[in-house]
Amino acid sequence: MNSAFVIWQDPETTMWEPVAKLTELHGVYIFSYTRGALHKNFVPFPRMSILEKEYISHELFPFFQNRIIPERRPEYYTMLSWLDMMPGAHDPLEILGASGGSKKTDNFRIIKVPRRTLGNEYRLKFFISGIAYISDAAKRDLISLDSRTLLSCVIEDKNKADSNAIAVTNPASGQRLGYYPRYLNEDLIRANRLLGVTGSELVTQIPVLKVNLNAPEQYRVFCESVTPWPDGFRPFESDKYKSLATSE
Protein backbone atom coordinates (compact mmCIF):
# COMPACT_ATOMS: atom_id res chain seq x y z
CA MET A 1 0.00 0.00 0.00
CA ASN A 2 1.29 3.41 -1.06
CA SER A 3 -0.23 6.49 0.61
CA ALA A 4 0.14 10.25 0.81
CA PHE A 5 -1.64 13.07 2.62
CA VAL A 6 -2.69 16.44 1.20
CA ILE A 7 -1.85 19.29 3.58
CA TRP A 8 -3.64 22.63 3.15
CA GLN A 9 -2.58 26.00 4.55
CA ASP A 10 -5.34 28.22 5.90
CA PRO A 11 -4.71 31.67 4.36
CA GLU A 12 -6.10 33.39 7.46
CA THR A 13 -3.99 31.71 10.13
CA THR A 14 -1.17 30.24 7.91
CA MET A 15 -1.60 27.00 9.87
CA TRP A 16 -1.37 23.69 7.99
CA GLU A 17 -4.21 21.15 8.09
CA PRO A 18 -4.35 17.59 6.66
CA VAL A 19 -7.42 17.58 4.42
CA ALA A 20 -7.20 14.42 2.30
CA LYS A 21 -5.50 11.07 1.84
CA LEU A 22 -4.61 9.27 -1.39
CA THR A 23 -3.78 5.57 -1.44
CA GLU A 24 -2.59 3.50 -4.39
CA LEU A 25 -3.27 -0.24 -4.14
CA HIS A 26 -2.55 -2.59 -7.07
CA GLY A 27 -2.95 0.21 -9.61
CA VAL A 28 -6.16 1.58 -8.09
CA TYR A 29 -6.26 5.04 -6.51
CA ILE A 30 -8.46 5.66 -3.46
CA PHE A 31 -9.12 9.22 -2.30
CA SER A 32 -10.88 10.33 0.87
CA TYR A 33 -11.07 13.53 2.89
CA THR A 34 -9.74 13.64 6.43
CA ARG A 35 -11.11 15.38 9.50
CA GLY A 36 -8.90 18.38 8.79
CA ALA A 37 -11.18 19.10 5.81
CA LEU A 38 -13.91 20.11 8.27
CA HIS A 39 -12.08 23.42 8.72
CA LYS A 40 -14.48 26.29 8.05
CA ASN A 41 -12.26 27.86 5.37
CA PHE A 42 -11.49 24.71 3.38
CA VAL A 43 -13.22 24.25 0.01
CA PRO A 44 -13.48 20.67 -1.41
CA PHE A 45 -11.86 19.90 -4.74
CA PRO A 46 -13.87 20.21 -8.01
CA ARG A 47 -16.05 17.18 -8.79
CA MET A 48 -15.16 15.79 -5.34
CA SER A 49 -17.50 17.83 -3.19
CA ILE A 50 -18.83 15.16 -0.80
CA LEU A 51 -16.57 15.04 2.23
CA GLU A 52 -17.83 11.65 3.47
CA LYS A 53 -17.40 9.85 0.14
CA GLU A 54 -14.56 7.55 -0.88
CA TYR A 55 -13.49 8.19 -4.50
CA ILE A 56 -11.93 5.38 -6.56
CA SER A 57 -10.14 5.62 -9.91
CA HIS A 58 -7.82 3.55 -12.11
CA GLU A 59 -6.03 6.78 -13.04
CA LEU A 60 -4.37 9.38 -10.88
CA PHE A 61 -6.93 12.03 -9.92
CA PRO A 62 -6.54 15.38 -11.76
CA PHE A 63 -5.66 17.26 -8.55
CA PHE A 64 -2.52 15.13 -8.25
CA GLN A 65 -1.78 14.65 -11.95
CA ASN A 66 -1.72 18.42 -12.45
CA ARG A 67 1.10 18.64 -9.91
CA ILE A 68 3.45 16.42 -11.90
CA ILE A 69 5.28 17.93 -14.87
CA PRO A 70 4.44 15.85 -17.99
CA GLU A 71 7.30 13.58 -19.02
CA ARG A 72 7.26 15.03 -22.54
CA ARG A 73 8.43 18.41 -21.21
CA PRO A 74 12.13 19.06 -20.56
CA GLU A 75 11.27 20.54 -17.13
CA TYR A 76 10.30 17.02 -16.05
CA TYR A 77 13.93 15.89 -16.19
CA THR A 78 15.06 19.07 -14.47
CA MET A 79 12.73 18.27 -11.58
CA LEU A 80 14.00 14.68 -11.43
CA SER A 81 17.52 16.06 -11.16
CA TRP A 82 16.51 18.38 -8.32
CA LEU A 83 14.95 15.36 -6.57
CA ASP A 84 18.12 13.31 -7.05
CA MET A 85 16.22 10.83 -9.25
CA MET A 86 17.55 9.18 -12.39
CA PRO A 87 15.56 9.50 -15.67
CA GLY A 88 13.01 6.76 -16.15
CA ALA A 89 9.67 5.61 -14.78
CA HIS A 90 8.94 6.75 -11.24
CA ASP A 91 6.08 6.27 -8.81
CA PRO A 92 3.91 9.45 -9.02
CA LEU A 93 3.48 9.50 -5.24
CA GLU A 94 7.26 9.31 -4.82
CA ILE A 95 7.69 12.40 -7.00
CA LEU A 96 4.84 14.27 -5.33
CA GLY A 97 5.98 13.39 -1.83
CA ALA A 98 9.58 14.44 -2.46
CA SER A 99 8.74 17.66 -4.30
CA GLY A 100 5.77 18.54 -2.10
CA GLY A 101 3.59 18.81 -5.19
CA SER A 102 3.38 22.58 -4.81
CA LYS A 103 2.33 24.99 -7.53
CA LYS A 104 2.88 28.73 -7.83
CA THR A 105 0.70 30.74 -5.43
CA ASP A 106 -0.52 27.41 -4.08
CA ASN A 107 -1.46 26.49 -0.52
CA PHE A 108 -1.27 22.69 -0.78
CA ARG A 109 1.54 20.26 -0.07
CA ILE A 110 1.69 16.48 -0.48
CA ILE A 111 3.44 14.22 2.03
CA LYS A 112 4.16 10.57 1.31
CA VAL A 113 3.49 8.35 4.32
CA PRO A 114 6.85 6.90 5.39
CA ARG A 115 7.35 3.23 6.11
CA ARG A 116 9.51 1.85 8.88
CA THR A 117 12.80 0.89 7.26
CA LEU A 118 14.70 -2.36 7.76
CA GLY A 119 17.16 -0.32 9.78
CA ASN A 120 14.32 0.74 12.09
CA GLU A 121 14.38 4.36 10.90
CA TYR A 122 11.83 7.10 10.26
CA ARG A 123 12.88 8.79 7.00
CA LEU A 124 11.36 11.73 5.14
CA LYS A 125 12.72 13.60 2.10
CA PHE A 126 12.18 17.35 1.92
CA PHE A 127 13.48 20.69 0.67
CA ILE A 128 14.75 23.12 3.30
CA SER A 129 12.23 25.93 3.81
CA GLY A 130 12.90 29.63 4.31
CA ILE A 131 16.18 29.87 2.41
CA ALA A 132 15.12 33.28 1.07
CA TYR A 133 15.32 34.70 4.60
CA ILE A 134 18.65 33.34 5.86
CA SER A 135 21.70 35.53 6.43
CA ASP A 136 24.25 36.30 3.73
CA ALA A 137 26.81 34.24 5.64
CA ALA A 138 24.43 31.27 5.65
CA LYS A 139 23.84 31.68 1.91
CA ARG A 140 27.59 31.54 1.33
CA ASP A 141 27.78 28.46 3.55
CA LEU A 142 24.96 26.85 1.60
CA ILE A 143 27.02 26.98 -1.62
CA SER A 144 29.66 24.76 0.00
CA LEU A 145 27.22 21.96 0.85
CA ASP A 146 27.40 18.64 -0.97
CA SER A 147 26.03 15.11 -0.60
CA ARG A 148 28.61 14.36 2.11
CA THR A 149 27.30 17.10 4.41
CA LEU A 150 25.35 16.05 7.49
CA LEU A 151 23.10 18.73 8.96
CA SER A 152 21.34 18.85 12.32
CA CYS A 153 18.14 20.38 13.63
CA VAL A 154 16.96 22.14 16.75
CA ILE A 155 13.56 23.30 18.04
CA GLU A 156 13.30 27.08 18.26
CA ASP A 157 10.89 27.15 21.19
CA LYS A 158 11.29 30.92 21.49
CA ASN A 159 10.28 31.47 17.87
CA LYS A 160 7.42 34.00 17.99
CA ALA A 161 5.80 32.73 14.79
CA ASP A 162 5.90 29.03 15.74
CA SER A 163 7.16 27.59 19.03
CA ASN A 164 7.56 24.22 17.26
CA ALA A 165 9.75 25.67 14.50
CA ILE A 166 12.68 23.37 13.70
CA ALA A 167 15.80 25.12 12.41
CA VAL A 168 18.16 23.21 10.11
CA THR A 169 21.78 24.05 10.88
CA ASN A 170 25.23 23.19 9.63
CA PRO A 171 27.14 21.99 12.72
CA ALA A 172 30.45 22.59 10.93
CA SER A 173 29.82 26.32 10.62
CA GLY A 174 27.03 26.96 13.11
CA GLN A 175 24.95 28.60 10.39
CA ARG A 176 21.16 28.28 10.29
CA LEU A 177 20.33 27.31 6.71
CA GLY A 178 16.55 27.38 6.96
CA TYR A 179 13.78 25.29 8.45
CA TYR A 180 12.28 21.83 8.44
CA PRO A 181 8.86 21.98 6.71
CA ARG A 182 6.39 23.36 9.24
CA TYR A 183 3.70 20.77 8.46
CA LEU A 184 6.11 17.95 9.42
CA ASN A 185 7.24 19.39 12.75
CA GLU A 186 4.66 17.68 14.96
CA ASP A 187 5.63 14.12 14.05
CA LEU A 188 9.38 14.76 14.16
CA ILE A 189 9.14 16.26 17.64
CA ARG A 190 6.83 13.46 18.81
CA ALA A 191 9.25 10.78 17.55
CA ASN A 192 12.11 12.45 19.40
CA ARG A 193 10.10 12.73 22.61
CA LEU A 194 9.29 9.02 22.44
CA LEU A 195 13.02 8.43 22.13
CA GLY A 196 13.51 10.28 25.41
CA VAL A 197 14.80 13.55 23.95
CA THR A 198 13.77 16.35 26.31
CA GLY A 199 15.80 19.32 25.06
CA SER A 200 15.60 21.40 21.92
CA GLU A 201 18.38 19.59 20.04
CA LEU A 202 16.94 16.58 18.21
CA VAL A 203 18.64 13.24 17.55
CA THR A 204 17.47 13.47 13.95
CA GLN A 205 20.26 13.59 11.39
CA ILE A 206 19.79 15.34 8.06
CA PRO A 207 22.04 14.21 5.21
CA VAL A 208 22.09 16.53 2.20
CA LEU A 209 20.98 14.62 -0.90
CA LYS A 210 21.34 17.33 -3.54
CA VAL A 211 22.21 21.03 -3.78
CA ASN A 212 20.55 22.69 -6.78
CA LEU A 213 22.34 26.02 -7.10
CA ASN A 214 20.40 27.06 -10.23
CA ALA A 215 16.97 26.07 -8.89
CA PRO A 216 14.41 28.40 -7.29
CA GLU A 217 15.03 28.81 -3.56
CA GLN A 218 12.22 26.41 -2.56
CA TYR A 219 14.08 23.65 -4.48
CA ARG A 220 17.61 24.68 -3.54
CA VAL A 221 18.63 22.11 -0.90
CA PHE A 222 17.13 18.60 -0.97
CA CYS A 223 17.60 16.58 2.22
CA GLU A 224 16.36 13.57 4.13
CA SER A 225 15.63 13.48 7.84
CA VAL A 226 16.72 10.24 9.51
CA THR A 227 15.37 9.44 12.98
CA PRO A 228 15.37 6.15 14.93
CA TRP A 229 11.82 4.77 14.83
CA PRO A 230 10.65 4.62 18.46
CA ASP A 231 8.42 1.89 19.81
CA GLY A 232 4.75 2.88 19.69
CA PHE A 233 5.32 5.56 17.04
CA ARG A 234 2.99 5.89 14.06
CA PRO A 235 3.25 8.87 11.70
CA PHE A 236 0.23 11.07 11.05
CA GLU A 237 -1.99 9.53 13.70
CA SER A 238 -3.64 12.64 15.20
CA ASP A 239 -7.40 13.02 14.86
CA LYS A 240 -7.19 15.42 11.91
CA TYR A 241 -5.59 12.71 9.77
CA LYS A 242 -8.50 10.29 10.22
CA SER A 243 -10.72 9.61 7.21
CA LEU A 244 -14.22 11.05 6.88
CA ALA A 245 -15.27 8.33 4.42
CA THR A 246 -18.35 6.54 5.74
CA SER A 247 -16.93 3.19 4.57
CA GLU A 248 -14.20 3.40 7.22
pLDDT score for 162 = 86
85 in a domain, yes or no? yes
pLDDT score for 248 = 46
| Cα 229-2-15 angle, rounded to 5 deg | 70
> Domain boundary residue among 114, 142, 168?
114
Same domain, residue pair 89 and 141 = no
240 in a domain, yes or no? no
245 in a domain, yes or no? no
| pTM metric for this prediction | 0.91
Catalogue the long-range contacts made by 198-202 (C-beta closer than 8 Å, 24 or more residues apart): 200/154, 200/155, 200/156, 200/157, 201/152, 201/154, 201/155, 202/152, 202/153, 202/154, 202/155, 202/166, 202/227
* Tally of domains within the chain: 2
Same domain, residue pair 148 and 53 = no
pLDDT score for 209 = 95
Same domain, residue pair 162 and 79 = no
Same domain, residue pair 104 and 151 = no
Same domain, residue pair 134 and 224 = yes
Average pLDDT of the chain is 92
CATH code for position 199: 3.30.70.2330
> Domain boundary residue among 114, 148, 178?
114
Domain range for 11: 2-114
Same domain, residue pair 90 and 160 = no
Same domain, residue pair 185 and 206 = yes
- DSSP result, the chain: -EEEEEEEE-TTT--EEEEEEEEEETTEEEEEEBGGGGSTT--PPTT---TTPPEEESS--HHHHTTS--TTSHHHHHHHHHTT--SS---HHHHHHHH----TT--EEEEEPP---TTSEEEEEEEPB-GGGS-HHHHHHHHT--TT-EEEEEE-TT-SS-TT-EEEEETTTTEEEEE--GGGHHHHHHHHHHTT--SSB-S-BEEEEEE-TTS-GGGSEEEEEEEE--TT--SS-SGGGSB--TT-
pLDDT score for 106 = 81
pLDDT score for 72 = 87
pLDDT score for 70 = 87
Same domain, residue pair 74 and 135 = no
> Domain boundary residue among 114, 149, 176?
114
Same domain, residue pair 63 and 150 = no
pLDDT score for 90 = 81
Q: How do residues 72-89 score in pLDDT, each as one tens digit?
A: 888 899 999 999 988 877
Same domain, residue pair 98 and 43 = yes
pLDDT score for 88 = 73
234 in a domain, yes or no? no
125 in a domain, yes or no? yes
Q: What is the pLDDT along the chain (248 residues), one digit of tens a residue?
A: 799 999 999 999 989 999 999 999 999 999 999 999 999 999 999 999 999 999 999 999 999 999 998 888 888 999 999 999 888 778 899 999 999 998 877 899 999 999 999 899 999 999 999 999 999 999 999 988 988 899 999 999 888 888 899 999 999 999 999 999 999 999 999 999 999 999 999 999 999 999 999 999 999 999 999 999 999 999 999 999 999 996 44
130 in a domain, yes or no? yes
Same domain, residue pair 60 and 145 = no
